[in-house]
Structure 1
Amino acid sequence: MDKSDQITTRDHNQRLVLQALFNAKETSRAQLAVDLNLHKSTISSIYRDLDELQFIEDLGEGTTTETGGRKAKMIRFNRQYGYVISFDMGRHHLRMAVVRLSGEVMFQALDNVDGMSVAEVIVLMKGHIKNHKDRSHGTKEGLMGVAVGIHGVVDENKVVYSPFFDYADVDVVSELNQVTTVPVILENEANAAAVYIRDYHDYFSRDKYDSLIALNIHYGIGAGIIIKGQLYHGMQGRAGEVGRSIVKMSANGPIRVEDLYSEDAMLERLAILTGQQVINRDVFVNFAKQQSSVVTRLLDDWVIGIAQVTYNIIQTAAPQVIFIHSRFIAEMPELLGRVVLAYQKMNPTSESEILFANRSVYQATLLGGAAIVTRKVLDLNNLDLKFKH
């Protein structure tokens, strides 16, 4: 084996050890050797290097072995190694979270950005970064990366299209690089939500899904797609734009799925039907709680529409599971059962599951973005990682 091959093998093994440390609640050098099928001397050498870099947290001695041998020193990935900042750049709100590399949220903030331009929202983002970048928050390395969830199409770390903000003359990465030198990664918000489900395993099933879709029904409608454990972007990052699917043509042009069933569309439809101003989701939900016949009919249509969207996605991609992310369902939980029932009538033999991860509705994009950046800074992009809440 020549020297370059030795270096490649060494780097590969080191990544495997770091992955195992990251995923373990606790482990030991001996256990790593067994789990990874590596020689103890290889593990010891890699351990010394990672320990010197402070990637390893010492948890103390484990229990005595069955044969009465020496207690092993228990270790895991150092959860105080560093942190990332993640943004969800929504139409009405800018969400922000400071997240340890291991996944735990340390701090969150929410800004109202209704009516703001991209430039004004970026000023807010810069302010958050400045406020945290020189603070370690108890970690060794401090800030190591920034993620931005975009409600639109992202390709090669640039915004290609968004129905909510005009990014034409704005380079988000360059703007944020004015206040930080750490990596800045942009990702479509539904894609980030899909990564969140994959990496945080936010579901009750014991099964591990490596083929899943996150259907995000918020201001627009988009789908994040995981195939064989990997995020699928499609050509120019345009995969998953299901909200732009055409339902029918009208004299004014195409009518798309998100023109009918996104949150914004539902608020607008209710306002037209009632002649009253429906300024936000809370007003819509209050109408529903009053059992208004207008809202009841509107929600009946929404249930059938979302069931049809789900049916079409499953017929196209055949995932193991679709996770529906909808704040309507979070606040009116009975809607999920109705969607599932409507879908089952359309496709009674389907084996694809339809689930709702309530815990992640408001955090999926934030935490998925944090996971994406963490993988980048640790050079663990294509390995299976288990992040913690």
Structure 2
Amino acid sequence: MITDKYLIREQNESLVLKTIIENQPISRADISTCSHLNKATVSSITTSLMDQELVIESGIGPSGATGGRKPIFLTFNAQAGLAIAIDIGYNYISSMLSYLDGTSIYSQKKRLSISSENLLDEIIESAKSIQRDLPHTPHGIVGMSVAIHGIVVDNNIRFSPFYDVTGTSIHDALTRAFSFPILIENEANLTALGEYTFAFDQKNLISVSIHSGIGVGIIQDNKLQTGAHGHSGEIGHTILYKNGLACACGNRGCLEKYASNKAIYEKYSEHYSVTSVNSDTITKALQEKDSFTEELLDEKIAELAIGINSLVMLYDPEIIIINSSLYNKNPKYIGEIKKQLNSVFARNVTLSASSLDEEATLYGGISAVVTQFLKIPFLKFKA
């Protein structure tokens, strides 16, 4: 019974803090109304949150129509702590240091080839580099997330087409290297969390990450879907063409072998015999009305639309967010994808470019760290 009492107190504290964050500035009376907790409980919990420096009094509101004491507004103290997020691609490592509300303090990106040999060292170096000259906060660094382009289950990397770390516990090594909690998660899942927490209001959304591969983060009824084995959202490894190109997952003809950014770059590189191709290269070619590039994009959009149509049928989302440097720089092509979603079931689904762009994964990592620290699952911060 004592355990139950403390559990209820912890749950109520999380509810009050969530109410403050998502409705700030807000009075104690309005917290009571929104949370359905009595005023005495709210008063006790807000005092505790203020003692922890997670909540501050931020102003005085007007008195009601009948007069009486003016309400004191409460707000979340976003500068109570710091969070670190790291994103590991196949040819880059990005990192961000932020306050608890996702306000970025510092971010950096380093281009290099990532392998199983340098993966751990690069994460540690990046994490240490971003910790220089930290601002003072009551709680310091509350955690660090690491986004992996591959399958992650319970902080363990099960598969990645870019760095083979089978049998190596990156999580254990990072826990030994740093004193704060470490979270390791799939990149597409974190990207969806970033969009959900900081950019979009919808509670049913899908984020499609199109980079070297194609991954999907799925949030249904405010909950991230990961599946029984952490494979949920691996749309890039659904088969588009029978007996097609070989994929590192073991299949042939996977969607990402044809419709990912990397696949587009490889086709362009092969056609023009150039070695360095990126989203800027393709964007410039499209601006110059290069016929090969325009035809290439038309072909890849048609292939990508097949995968997105499947997502609409399977998950019935309110919105699908495309996160890709190529499509973010050429947003008209998202409209072209929408045109190819001809099913009646797709009529009410919004298709949008990411407003967080290349930092969406980092923001998702910040979200994962902060929600764990605050013990509030699936929090939304006002933009």
TM class by shorter-chain length? over 0.9
Tell me, in whole angstroms, the C-alpha distance in 2 between the residues paired with 1:120 and 1:252.
28
* Structure 1 pair 184–250 and aligned structure 2 pair: CA distance change class (3 A): same
Structure 2 counterpart SS, 1:65: coil
Q: Name the aligned partner's letter for residue 214 of structure 1.
A: S
Tell me, in whole angstroms, the C-alpha distance in 1 between the residues paired with 2:111 and 2:317.
36
* Structure 1 pair 358–234 and aligned structure 2 pair: CA distance change class (3 A): closer
Matches within 5 A, 1:6-21: 6-21=5-20
- Aligned residues of 2:255 and 2:304 also touching (Cα < 8 A): no
Match of 1:100 in 2: 99
Say whether 1:183 aligns with 2:181.
Answer: yes
- Aligned residues of 2:25 and 2:74 also touching (Cα < 8 A): yes
- Aligned residues of 1:371 and 1:387 also touching (Cα < 8 A): no
- Aligned residues of 2:245 and 2:257 also touching (Cα < 8 A): no
Matches within 5 A, 1:225-264: 225-250=218-243, 254-264=252-262
Q: Name the aligned partner's letter for residue 364 of structure 2.
A: G
Tell me, in whole angstroms, the C-alpha distance in 2 between the residues paired with 1:258 and 1:285.
20
Q: Which of 343, 349, 357 is 1:347 aligned to?
A: 343
Structure 1 counterpart SS, 2:64: coil
* Structure 1 pair 160–70 and aligned structure 2 pair: CA distance change class (3 A): same
Say whether 1:222 aligns with 2:218.
Answer: no
Structure 1: runs of 5 or more not aligned: none
Match of 1:73 in 2: 72
Matches within 5 A, 1:202-217: 202-203=199-200, 208-217=201-210
1:251 to partner: Cα distance = 7.6
Tell me, in whole angstroms, the C-alpha distance in 1 between the residues paired with 2:266 and 2:196.
34
* Structure 1 pair 163–74 and aligned structure 2 pair: CA distance change class (3 A): same
Tell me, in whole angstroms, the C-alpha distance in 2 between the residues paired with 1:188 and 1:317.
19
Q: Name the aligned partner's letter for residue 36 of structure 2.
A: N
Tell me, in whole angstroms, the C-alpha distance in 2 between the residues paired with 1:322 and 1:162.
24
Match of 2:380 in 1: 386
1:349 to partner: Cα distance = 5.2
What is the count of residue pairs matched by the alignment? 378
TM-score by length of 2: 0.92
Match of 1:269 in 2: 267
1:252 to partner: Cα distance = 6.5
Q: Which of 182, 196, 199 is 2:197 aligned to?
A: 199
Q: Deviations over 1:78-107 (max 9, x none)?
A: 111101100111112211111211221111
Match of 1:300 in 2: 298
Match of 1:54 in 2: 53
Matches within 5 A, 1:27-38: 27-38=26-37
* Structure 1 pair 134–299 and aligned structure 2 pair: CA distance change class (3 A): closer
Q: Name the aligned partner's letter for residue 237 of structure 1.
A: G
Structure 1 counterpart SS, 2:346: coil
Q: Which of 336, 339, 352 is 1:338 aligned to?
A: 336
- Aligned residues of 1:148 and 1:186 also touching (Cα < 8 A): yes
- Aligned residues of 2:53 and 2:77 also touching (Cα < 8 A): yes
Match of 2:316 in 1: 318
- Aligned residues of 2:210 and 2:260 also touching (Cα < 8 A): yes
- Aligned residues of 1:318 and 1:352 also touching (Cα < 8 A): no
Q: Name the aligned partner's letter for residue 66 of structure 1.
A: A
Match of 1:365 in 2: 361
Tell me, in whole angstroms, the C-alpha distance in 2 between the residues paired with 1:222 and 1:128.
24
- Aligned residues of 1:19 and 1:380 also touching (Cα < 8 A): yes
Tell me, in whole angstroms, the C-alpha distance in 1 between the residues paired with 2:108 and 2:100.
18
Q: Name the aligned partner's letter for residue 289 of structure 2.
A: Q
Q: Which of 106, 126, 137 is 2:135 aligned to?
A: 137
Moved more, 173-182 or 223-232: 173-182
Tell me, in whole angstroms, the C-alpha distance in 1 between the residues paired with 2:196 and 2:244.
42
1:119 to partner: Cα distance = 4.1
Tell me, in whole angstroms, the C-alpha distance in 2 between the residues paired with 1:330 and 1:151.
20
Tell me, in whole angstroms, the C-alpha distance in 2 between the residues paired with 1:43 and 1:151.
42
* Structure 1 pair 84–388 and aligned structure 2 pair: CA distance change class (3 A): farther
1:335 to partner: Cα distance = 0.7
Structure 2 counterpart SS, 1:235: coil
Say whether 1:356 aligns with 2:363.
Answer: no
* Structure 1 pair 111–347 and aligned structure 2 pair: CA distance change class (3 A): same
- Aligned residues of 1:198 and 1:210 also touching (Cα < 8 A): yes
Q: Which of 166, 169, 177 is 1:168 aligned to?
A: 166
- Aligned residues of 1:222 and 1:241 also touching (Cα < 8 A): yes
* Structure 1 pair 250–307 and aligned structure 2 pair: CA distance change class (3 A): same
* Structure 1 pair 27–142 and aligned structure 2 pair: CA distance change class (3 A): same
Q: Which of 358, 363, 373 is 1:377 aligned to?
A: 373
- Aligned residues of 2:244 and 2:253 also touching (Cα < 8 A): no
TM-score by length of 1: 0.91
Say whether 1:124 aligns with 2:117.
Answer: no
- Aligned residues of 1:133 and 1:143 also touching (Cα < 8 A): no
